[in-house]
Structure 1
């Protein structure tokens, strides 16, 4: 189902992930989050930006376990745990955060 941000239309697949990963811009995350009644805070953006950097480096969206460990290393143990990440992204930190970040669905996510 496509969505609009900044006057542009962005195509998504049947699960809501962006089809053209290169067309992502920060407003895409904001609009996708609004569609799910999920306001984005600075903490959300930390994870979204982390995911985008991770994807740029490794060309893969990390599974939750990998995401949790990597965030713990970069942002600290208080943020590198699944409880914290699920509070931010209740539909699943891997799936929901990657969707907002304009990345493909992580491997291992059902």
Structure 2
């Protein structure tokens, strides 16, 4: 079984793609460790998007795929941030996958 090794020695179960098996395991520390594994140093800009995605998940039960993520960010954070290039600068080449992973959500449907 895959697991995330935390600095305090805990092991958090992950699925085969590296996403948390249980949303209940998510914390700021877990997100930070996941981000470190992705070579991402979380900033306020990252947290803004992570929290938007978590809120969207709470409202819909879905982790947004790429197009939905871009629309969501544009609507809630402004058109300057709701662009693929902005999200790719923060989260790499597949921002919907990465932000969902860091937010503790399941892998978005329709994302390859």
Task: Pick the TM interval, shorter chain.
Answer: over 0.9
For normalisation by structure 2, the TM-score amounts to 0.92
User: Judging changes above 3 Å, is the alpha-carbon distance between structure 1 residues 6 and 52 closer, same or farther for their aligned structure 2 residues?
Assistant: farther
Structure 1: state its 5+ residue gaps. Answer: none
Cα RMSD for the two superposed structures: 1.2
Structure 2: state its 5+ residue gaps. Answer: none
Partner of 2:14: 12
Displaced runs of 4 or more, over 4 A:
none
How many residue pairs end up in the alignment? Answer: 110
- Structure 1 residue 5: Cα displacement: 3.5
Q: Paired residue for 2:38, among 29, 33, 36?
A: 36
CA-to-aligned-CA distance 1:13-32 (integer Å, 9 cap, x gap): 11100001122111111001
Q: Distance in 2 between matches of 1:98 and 1:66?
A: 12
Partner of 1:77: 79
Q: Distance in 2 between matches of 1:87 and 1:58?
A: 26
Q: Distance in 2 between matches of 1:49 and 1:83?
A: 19
